[in-house]
C-alpha cells in the first residue's frame, strides 16, 4: 500500500481499536452499535488512508498485523486517557474540597459523614483538616468551616451557629473525685487548651473565690477531649465538639455553669470564585446540621 499523509477520521480509529481488541468485526460492531459490514468498511477505509495493512484476512480468520498491533496498543492508551479526561470533566462540578479544624473534623463531622453521603450521593466531598487558614486558590479548597469571632471580610460568609463552653470529664472521673460542686474542681486535674474561654473565666462565672490550679496544656481540642474521655482530667468542652460524647456517655458535664463562646462557626468561600450546585448543597446540609444541633 502507498503511504499517504491524510489524517484518518477519529471514528475509524475507534472502530479499528475495538476490532483489534475484540478480535472480531462482529464483536466490535456489537460493542459500538454498528453492523459487521460497517466495521469492515471503516477498517478498510482506514487502511487505505494510512497505506498500511492492519489486519490479515484468511477466509473467516482475522489476525492483526504487527503494524496494527502497535497502532491498537497506542490507541487503547490514548482512548483510556481521553475517556478519563471526559469523566473528570463531568465529575469536576461534583467535587467539593472543604477545609475545617482537625478537632471539628474528628469530633463532629466524621460521625455525620454517612448522613452526608446518603443525602448527597453524587457529591465527591473531600475534607482537608488543618489549623492554619487555608489559601483557597493555591490549596485547591472550595469552601471552609471557620471558627472566628466575626465573618472574614474578604470572604462570602454564612453563620452556622454558636456554642457554649462547660467542664466535661468521664463519669468515672467525676465520681472518683466527687465533683458535686464547682469548689470540688480545686482537687481535679484541669486540662488546658488555647481557646479564648479559659479556666479563670469559668471559675469566676461559677462563683469560686480562688484562682484555678495549674494543669497540663494540650494544644489541640481533639487531644484535650480524648484525654478527658480516658479519665485524665477535666476539659473545657465546646458544646459542638462534646455533644456526641455526652450523648454516648463517654463524657459528662458535672455542672450547669457554662460560658458563651466568643467565637462562632462560619461557612465561608471566596467572593470571586464561581459557585456550583455541589457547593450550595454542602452549605445547605451544614446549615441543617447546625440547626439540629441547636
Strongest mean pLDDT among 41-45, 127-131, 177-181: 177-181
What confidence score (pLDDT) does residue 99 get? 95
Q: Are 220 and 102 in contact (CB under 8 A)?
A: yes
> Looking at per-residue confidence, does 133 or 105 come out higher?
105
Is the pLDDT assigned to residue 4 strictly greater than 70? Answer: no
Confidence of residue 234 (pLDDT cuts 50, 70, 90): very high
- DSSP code per residue over 229-247: HTTS-EEEEEHHHHHHHHH
User: What does residue 182 show for φ and ψ, rounded to 5 degrees?
Assistant: -55, -35
> Looking at per-residue confidence, does 145 or 195 come out higher?
145
The arithmetic mean of pLDDT across residues 126-140, rounded, is 88
- pLDDT, tens only, 69-105: 999 899 999 888 887 777 666 555 788 999 999 999 9
What confidence score (pLDDT) does residue 2 get? 47
Confidence of residue 1 (pLDDT cuts 50, 70, 90): very low
List the domains of the chain with CATH numbers.
10-64 (1.10.10.10), 93-159+263-293 (3.40.190.10), 164-260 (3.40.190.10)
Q: Which H or E run contains 29? A: helix 25-32
Give the torsion through C-alpha atoms of 92, 124, 145, 277, to 10 deg.
Answer: 60
What confidence score (pLDDT) does residue 281 get? 95
Please state whether beta strands 264-270 and 143-148 pair in parallel, antiparallel, or not at all (unpaired).
antiparallel
Is the pLDDT assigned to residue 174 strictly greater than 90? Answer: yes
Mean pLDDT, the chain, integer:
90
What confidence score (pLDDT) does residue 154 get? 81
The arithmetic mean of pLDDT across residues 206-212, rounded, is 93
Give the torsion through C-alpha atoms of 137, 143, 149, 152, to 10 deg.
Answer: 40
The verdict on pTM exceeding 0.85 is no
Amino acid at each position: 500500500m502507498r503511504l499517504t499523509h491524510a489524517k484518518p477520521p477519529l471514528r475509524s480509529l475507534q472502530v479499528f481499536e475495538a476490532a483489534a481488541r475484540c478480535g472480531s468485526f462482529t464483536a466490535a460492531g456489537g460493542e459500538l452499535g454498528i453492523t459487521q459490514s460497517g466495521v469492515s468498511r471503516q477498517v478498510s477505509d482506514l487502511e487505505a488512508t494510512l497505506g498500511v495493512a492492519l489486519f490479515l484476512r484468511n477466509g473467516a480468520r482475522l489476525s492483526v498485523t504487527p503494524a496494527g498491533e502497535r497502532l491498537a496498543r497506542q490507541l487503547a492508551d490514548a482512548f483510556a486517557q481521553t475517556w478519563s479526561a471526559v469523566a473528570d470533566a463531568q465529575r469536576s462540578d461534583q467535587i467539593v474540597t472543604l477545609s475545617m479544624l482537625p478537632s471539628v473534623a474528628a469530633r463532629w463531622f466524621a460521625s455525620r459523614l454517612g448522613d452526608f453521603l446518603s443525602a448527597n450521593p453524587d457529591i465527591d466531598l473531600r475534607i482537608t483538616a488543618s489549623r492554619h487558614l487555608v489559601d483557597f486558590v493555591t490549596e485547591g479548597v472550595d469552601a471552609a468551616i471557620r471558627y472566628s469571632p466575626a465573618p472574614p471580610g474578604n470572604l462570602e460568609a454564612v453563620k452556622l451557629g454558636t456554642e457554649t463552653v462547660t467542664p466535661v470529664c468521664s463519669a468515672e472521673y467525676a465520681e472518683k473525685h466527687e465533683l458535686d460542686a464547682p469548689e470540688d474542681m480545686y482537687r481535679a486535674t484541669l486540662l488546658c487548651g488555647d481557646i479564648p474561654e479559659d479556666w479563670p473565666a469559668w471559675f469566676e462565672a461559677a462563683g469560686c473565690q480562688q484562682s484555678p490550679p495549674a494543669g497540663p496544656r494540650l494544644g489541640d481540642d481533639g487531644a484535650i477531649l480524648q484525654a478527658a474521655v480516658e479519665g485524665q482530667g477535666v476539659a473545657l468542652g465546646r458544646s459542638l465538639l462534646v455533644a456526641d460524647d455526652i450523648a454516648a456517655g463517654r463524657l459528662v458535664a458535672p455542672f450547669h455553669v457554662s460560658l458563651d463562646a466568643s467565637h462562632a462557626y462560619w461557612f465561608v468561600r471566596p467572593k470571586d470564585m464561581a459557585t456550583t450546585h455541589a457547593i450550595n448543597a454542602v452549605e445547605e446540609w451544614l446549615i441543617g446540621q447546625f440547626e439540629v444541633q441547636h
